[in-house]
Amino acid sequence: MTSTKVAVIGSGNIGTDLMIKVLRLSDHLAMRAMVGIDPASDGLRRAKRLGVPTTADGVEGLLKMPEFDDISIVFDATSASAHIANAALLEPTRTALVDLTPAAIGPFVVPPVNLAEHLDSRNVNMVTCGGQATIPIVAAVGAVSEVLYAEIVASISSRSAGPGTRANIDEFTETTARALEVVGGARRAKAIIVLNPADPPLIMRDTVHCLIGNADLDAVERSVLGMVDAVATYVPGYRLKQQVQFREIDNHSTARDLVDDTGRPRWQVSVYLEVEGAAHYLPAYAGNLDIMTSAALRVGESLSARLGERVL
């Protein structure tokens, strides 16, 4: 079987976890380069021990590596600002980019919602961890009834929020809210992130609230449950914490102030999720990072299959 050669830029937690997932889980992708800027980083040291070629000279170093000629897909697990520079350097090459930062240069991709639409894009964006966890739910509700307003709260352990995550907090909320509308289909949306300092660390939790009009509530619940099962096929730790909740909105509810004049919400749909990590490299409580690397792996494998179709 011929494998598609890939590189990972970013030797921090997310990049290292993704590298290990490629090595352990994928029959279609092969690691050909691990790229960082700190020679002493655990990611680069671990890559060397695993026999993966490395460079500590960033994308400039990657372009000079003899292995680069065989690489078809590059995963960028750096930061929003770094991705802008990395994408510019890689633009003249033939590689496809999978962006795990909130830079959002390319189209937003959430695997069970819209991956098939963007397999020919040169640079796809994985939104954010909160987006990957909650956009599928908003899309599932939207498949049954228009979502007049969506609000999500992503609560993650502060221990799982490294320098890159903390530097991108503003981009997180902006990018997630926009993707809830563009991909999830909500008319309006808001995203909130909470860094929980609890010790011992808590597993990632996500709350999704959707305001909808008249709808078949049983159909809404079936759609949500089906979507949870779809995400769990590539993120095994993704699950509901309780049954889907419905609350009827009365005429005096402040919820009506969250939608514009063209919408008349009747129901609030609330979905409570938990995301436990697979602990390939990161601790199990870091489900926020695991869902990003798991989704990126799913995208990479689908891009690999698409590349195979082009060859045939």
> Which residues make up the CATH 3.40.50.720 domain(s) of the chain?
4-126+291-311
Buried b (16+ CB within 10 A) or exposed e, 209-227: bbbbeebebeebbebbeeb
Q: For the chain, give percent helix, strand, coil, nearest 5.
A: 45, 25, 35
* Annotated binding-site residue numbers for NAD(+): 11-14, 160-168, 288
Give me the catalytic one of 110, 129, 275, 282.
129
Tally DSSP H helices, then E strands, for the chain.
10, 12
Q: Which residues are annotated as a binding site?
A: 11-14, 160-168, 288
Residue 261 per-residue DSSP state: T
pLDDT in 10s for each residue of the chain, 312 residues: 579 999 999 999 999 999 999 999 999 999 999 999 999 999 999 999 999 999 999 999 999 999 999 999 999 999 989 999 999 999 999 999 999 998 889 999 999 999 999 999 999 999 999 999 999 999 999 999 999 999 999 999 999 987 777 877 888 899 999 999 999 999 999 999 999 999 999 999 999 999 999 999 999 999 999 999 999 999 999 999 999 999 999 876 777 678 766 678 999 999 999 999 999 999 999 999 999 999 999 999 999 999 876 544
> To which residue do tokens 């000079």 refer?
64
Whether pTM exceeds 0.85: yes
CATH number assigned to the domain covering 129-283:
3.30.360.10
**Segments of the chain assigned to CATH 3.30.360.10:** 129-283
Residues 6+ apart with CB under 8 A from 13: 160, 162, 281, 282, 286, 289
Neighbouring C-beta atoms of residue 29, cutoff 10 Å: 22
Phi/psi at 30 (nearest 5 deg)?
A: -130, 130
- At a CB cut-off of 8 Å and minimum separation 6, what does 109 contact? 115, 118, 124, 125, 126, 127, 183, 299
Assign domain 4-126+291-311 one CATH number from 3.30.1280.10, 3.40.47.10, 3.40.50.720, 3.40.50.300: 3.40.50.720
Partner residues linked to 294 by β-bridges: none
Burial zone of 49 (CB within 10 Å; 0-12 exposed, 13-18 middle, 19+ buried)? exposed
Known catalytic residue at 210: no
